[in-house]
Amino acid sequence: MKKNLASIALVMMAMLSSCGGSDSKQMLFNGKNLEGWTCVLDEKSDVPTSEVYGMKDGNIHIVGNPFGYMRTDKKYSNYKLHVEWRWVGEGTNSGLFLHVQDGDKLWPNAIECQLGSGKAGDFVMLGGSKIAEVESKGMFPIKDRIGNFEKPIGEWNIAEVVCQGNSITVYINGQLQNQATSETSEGYIALQSEGGPIEFRNVYLTELNEKDTIAKDSITLSYDLLKNDDPKIKDCIEEEPQYAFDVTLKGKINGAPYKLYQVHVKEGKAERTEIKQEKICTADSIQHFLFASIMESKESVRIICNHQTKNDWKITIPSYQCILMETYPAIKQTKEETIPLIAFTEGERGTWERNGFTLEGIDYCGVRDAKIHPSRWFEKFHIKDYVYFEIEFQQ
């Protein structure tokens, strides 16, 4: 295994004062050279590490081949890590290694926050590492992220990772993506070479102590499927709906202004549109949204949403096999995230063997119960045309 031991010392430390206390911010990358980092390549490679890891226009530039990683010289625990990255040319593969253990090798014992194009935020268990949420099967067990919030190839993305005790929480471009409980709570931090050119900048961490809390107030989301004779429906809808749900948000949201968005996903491409309101909407401490679907034809549906105001709009979509369906989140949501409320969609198409016959059908429950962010339903379930609705609280 080749190593380039640049320096033992960290680049710099700055203390940032805030109301009632101070944060310890450590710049892991100084913007000039790779001091404070150890560069590692596959032991089978005879390529010098300097040809793989270097500087370009003030950024860390990693070629991507041969495989390997550059890690900090120092181990860390209890921190909030900030890393920005972008692809040079096409989007390929890379990762952010957390809690890297001693013994440099191609696949160290570490938790990888995947940065691979289209997969940023997945957790990958490397070198025998384990998390409580996933059974360790195979060489690289994976815990899927809940959504896809990456920016177009060539633009800068931001990964923020909070490691506090054994807990790891990942945000991609400000959106909560994944959470896990690791067996380890300390280790090196590493940037991976795997696949193609990638650049990094603004790599720093903020230390947390045991009294610090970075957990934000969570919001719970619940659903109540309503019968057609329910007074909630009769109060706002004249027609008989196909489906109707009372969607309830609970949390510290009282008085928080919000906006609603419609996201139409077609062949994996999402078009997000703000739903215009007659007035500024502010949430109650327990906020209800009544969503109802009314079929107009095989190609169109009306969606009605009754909340602080009433919305009624028509959607052109192959609707004859679509239903109004819950979007249960896989992890806790907060006011800082955009929260999917409900979707109008079909399920996953598949075949089943029964008594010697091959039956074709649509699985709706499997999509709902997978607890995957609806932005990924085309990727995971091959649903080609669907709509979901989300709420965004205004800061």
Give me the domains of the chain, ranges plus CATH numbers: 2-207 (2.60.120.560), 218-393 (no CATH)
- Cβ contacts of 238 within 8 Å, gap of 6 or more: none
Q: Give the separation between CA 148 and CA 172, rounded to whole angstroms.
A: 9
CA dist 70 and 87 (Å) reads 17
Question: Sign (positive/negative) of CA torsion 284, 218, 291, 149?
Answer: positive
pTM over cut 0.85: no
Q: What is the pLDDT along the chain (395 residues), one digit of tens a residue?
A: 444 433 222 222 222 223 233 457 899 999 999 999 999 999 999 999 999 999 999 999 999 999 999 999 999 999 999 999 999 999 999 999 999 999 999 999 999 999 999 999 999 999 999 998 888 778 899 999 888 889 999 999 999 999 998 999 999 998 888 989 999 999 999 999 999 999 999 999 999 875 555 445 678 888 999 988 888 887 778 888 889 999 999 888 888 899 999 999 999 889 999 998 888 889 988 899 999 999 888 888 999 998 988 888 788 887 778 999 999 876 667 777 788 999 999 999 888 776 778 878 888 988 988 888 898 899 889 999 999 999 999 87
78: left (phi over 0), alpha (psi -120 to 50) or beta: left
Sign of CA dihedral 280, 236, 228, 347: negative
